[in-house]
C-alpha cells in the first residue's frame, strides 16, 4: 500500500503501538522538559497531553519550555500557561493569557520568524527538544499523518529525543490528501526545493520518524477551536477596494504579476476580509494562485467559485463553518490545496521564485515606511512577527494594509517614528489604508513621507505634515525631530 492509502484505509492506531491515556503520557514528560509541539495558525495542536500536564501542575514543579510551529490553541497557550508551568515560550502566541504572561515577564518569550525555525530547532540553535507532542489523523510504525497543520512538525519530530502522538478521530483522515511533506537535507549539502508552482506536490503525505522514539499514542476526539472572524467593517471594505484597484493595475503593469498573479495574505480578520473581497472581482478571472501560510475561509470561497487555481500553505485556519465545509467534502479541495512544512511554505527561495505579492497587516507604520507588526507603543507585545518577516522581506511586491486609526479613532496608526520596527523601509513597497494607496517604490525618504501622510487619517495629517516640516529644517538624509518624534504620539 502507498503511504496515502495506508492512512486512508488502515487503522488510525495499529494494535502494536504503545497506547496510553493523556495522564500517563504526561507522566513521561520531565518537569523541566523542552516540548516541541505541533500547531500553526491556532490549529493542529495537541489537546489532551497539555491539559493533562496542566491538571498535574499542582502536584509537580513544572518549568517547561514550549516551542511550537506558530500559534497553538487554548490547551497550551491558555490552560497550561495559566498554571505557571510554562517558563519559556517560542516563537508565537495568540491568547490573552499567554500575552499577559509575556508582557508581565512571568513567562520568558522570544519572538521569532518562521522560515528558519525548523533549522534553529533541528540543529540545536534555539532549543534542544526532549519531547515532541504532535497531533495526527493516523499513526503507524515510523510514520504519522499530521492533521490541520504541518508547521514545523517534521523538524521537531526529528530533533526530539522522544515522541508523543495524539491521534484525533474528530479530524478526517482525508486531510492526509492535502499534505506534501518535504524534509530538506542539512546545509551545506542542501539541494534546491523542487516546487515550481503552488499546486505542485513533490513530497509525501506523512512525517517519518524513528520508531524507537515513540513513547505514547493518545487518542483524542475533539476539533480545533475554530477561528472567529469578525464581520468586515466599512473600513475593511474600503481598504479591500483600494487593494483590488492596486492589484488590477499591477497585473497590467508588471509582467511578473501579470504572468501568474500569486498572492499571500496574513492570518486574521482583515486578511480574511481581503481574501473574501477577491470573490467576484476581475482578479478572480486572472488565474489567481495563493502561496502563503494559512488557508482561511475567504480562500475556500474563491476555490468554490473557481477564482483560485491552487492554494499552498501550512495550515487550515478556518471558522467553524469553514471546518464543516472542508471536512464534509475534503476531496473537493484536495487537488487544489496543498499543505507543506513551514520551512517550505515560508522558504525565501520559493517566495521569490513564484513572484509572490505579499499582503500583511500591521499595528502601525511611520512616515518613512517602517512597519510595526507586534508591539503597542514599542513595549506591549500583541502576538508575534510570525511569517510576515519571511514574506515581506522576500516577496516580489510587499503590501502592508491597516486602518489609519486605532482606539475608536483617537490614535493614528501612522506616526512620525515607529516605536518598534519589525519590517524596515527597505522591505515595504506599498501601504494601503482606507484613505488610499501609498506606493513607496523608487522614492526618497521625504517623498515616502509625503505619500504615507497622504493616506493617514485626515484628522492627523496636518500634525504629521507639521512634524515633517520641522524635521526638514535640519540636515540629514532622513529628517527627524527626535525630541518630538515620540511626544507627538502622546
Taking the C-alpha atoms of residue 277 and residue 220, their distance in angstroms, rounded to an integer, is 37
Question: Hey, how many other C-beta atoms are within 10 angstroms of the C-beta on 450?
Answer: 16
Supply 6's cell numbers.
495506508
- Grid coordinates belonging to 291: 502561496
- Per the CB < 8 A criterion, the answer to whether 311 and 265 are in contact is no
Which of these is catalytic: 293, 329, 425, 450?
A: 293
Round to whole Å and give the CA distance between 104 and 420: 18
What does the alpha-carbon distance between residue 14 and residue 28 come to, in Å, rounded to a whole number? 21
Q: Is 293 a catalytic residue?
A: yes
The Cα 132–Cα 396 span in angstroms is: 35
**What secondary structure letter does DSSP report for 77?**
I
CB-based contact 183:150 (threshold 8 Å) = no
Residue 278 and residue 288 in contact, taking contact as beta carbons nearer than 8 Å: yes
Task: Report the side by side order of strands in the sheet with 430-433.
Answer: 337-339, 310-313, 289-291, 262-265, 356-361, 397-401, 430-433, 436-439
Instruction: Tell me how crowded residue 484 is: count the other CB atoms within 10 A of its CB.
Output: 15
Q: At 292, phi and psi to the nearest 5?
A: -155, -150
Least Cα distance to 4 among 203, 207, 205 occurs for 205
Catalytic residue ranges: 293
Amino acid at each position: 500500500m502507498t503511504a496515502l492509502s495506508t492512512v486512508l484505509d488502515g487503522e488510525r492506531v495499529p494494535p502494536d503501538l504503545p497506547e496510553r491515556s493523556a495522564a500517563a503520557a504526561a507522566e513521561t514528560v520531565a518537569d523541566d522538559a523542552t516540548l516541541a509541539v505541533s500547531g500553526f495558525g491556532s490549529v493542529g495542536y495537541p489537546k489532551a497531553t497539555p491539559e493533562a500536564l496542566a491538571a498535574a501542575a499542582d502536584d509537580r514543579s513544572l518549568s517547561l519550555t514550549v516551542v511550537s510551529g506558530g500559534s497553538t490553541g487554548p490547551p497550551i497557550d491558555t490552560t497550561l500557561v495559566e498554571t505557571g508551568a510554562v517558563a519559556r515560550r517560542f516563537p508565537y502566541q495568540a491568547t490573552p493569557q499567554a500575552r499577559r504572561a509575556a508582557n508581565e515577564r512571568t513567562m520568558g518569550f522570544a519572538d521569532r520568524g518562521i522560515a528558519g525555525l525548523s533549522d534553529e530547532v533541528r540543529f540545536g540553535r534555539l532549543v534542544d527538544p526532549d519531547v515532541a507532542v504532535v497531533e495526527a489523523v493516523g499513526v503507524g510504525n515510523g510514520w504519522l499523518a499530521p492533521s490541520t497543520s504541518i508547521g514545523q512538525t517534521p523538524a521537531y519530530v526529528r530533533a526530539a529525543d522522544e515522541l508523543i502522538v495524539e491521534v484525533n478521530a474528530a479530524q478526517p483522515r482525508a486531510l492526509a490528501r492535502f499534505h506534501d511533506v518535504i524534509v530538506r537535507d542539512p546545509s551545506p549539502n542542501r539541494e534546491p526545493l523542487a516546487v515550481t508552482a503552488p499546486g505542485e506536490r513533490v513530497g509525501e503525505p506523512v512525517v517519518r520518524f524513528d520508531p524507537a522514539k515513540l513513547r505514547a499514542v493518545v487518542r483524542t476526539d475533539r476539533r480545533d477551536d475554530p477561528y472567529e472572524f469578525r464581520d468586515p467593517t466599512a473600513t475593511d471594505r474600503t481598504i479591500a477596494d483600494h487593494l483590488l484597484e492596486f492589484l488590477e493595475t499591477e497585473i497590467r503593469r508588471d509582467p511578473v504579476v501579470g504572468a501568474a498573479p500569486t498572492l499571500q495574505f496574513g492570518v486574521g480578520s482583515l486578511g480574511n476580509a481581503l481574501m473574501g473581497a477577491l470573490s467576484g472581482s476581475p482578479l478572480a478571472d486572472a488565474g489567481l494562485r495563493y502561496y502563503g501560510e494559512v488557508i482561511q475561509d475567504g480562500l475556500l470561497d474563491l476555490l468554490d467559485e473557481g477564482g483560485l487555481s491552487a492554494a499552498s500553505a501550512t495550515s487550515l485556519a478556518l471558522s467553524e463553518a469553514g471546518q464543516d465545509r472542508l471536512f464534509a467534502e475534503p476531496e473537493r479541495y484536495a487537488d487544489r490545496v496543498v499543505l507543506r512544512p513551514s520551512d517550505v511554505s515560508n522558504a525565501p527561495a520559493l517566495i521569490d521564485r513564484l513572484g509572490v505579492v505579499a499582503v500583511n497587516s500591521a499595528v502601525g507604520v511611520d512616515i518613512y515606511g517602517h512597519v510595526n507588526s507586534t508591539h503597542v507603543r514599542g513595549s506591549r507585545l500583541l502576538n508575534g512577527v510570525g511569517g510576515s518577516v519571511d514574506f515581506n522581506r522576500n516577496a516580489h511586491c510587499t503590501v502592508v494594509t491597516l486602518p489609519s486609526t486605532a482606539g475608536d479613532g483617537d490614535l493614528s496608526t501612522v506616526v512620525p517614528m515607529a516605536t518598534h520596527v519589525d519590517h524596515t523601509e527597505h522591505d515595504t513597497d506599498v501601504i494601503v489604508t482606507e484613505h488610499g494607496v501609498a506606493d513607496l517604490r523608487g522614492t526618497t525618504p521625504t517623498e515616502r513621507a509625503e505619500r504615507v501622510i497622504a493616506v493617514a487619517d485626515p484628522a492627523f495629517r496636518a500634525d504629521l505634515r507639521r512634524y515633517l516640516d520641522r524635521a526638514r529644517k535640519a540636515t540629514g538624509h532622513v529628517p527627524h525631530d527626535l525630541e518630538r518624534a515620540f511626544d507627538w504620539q502622546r
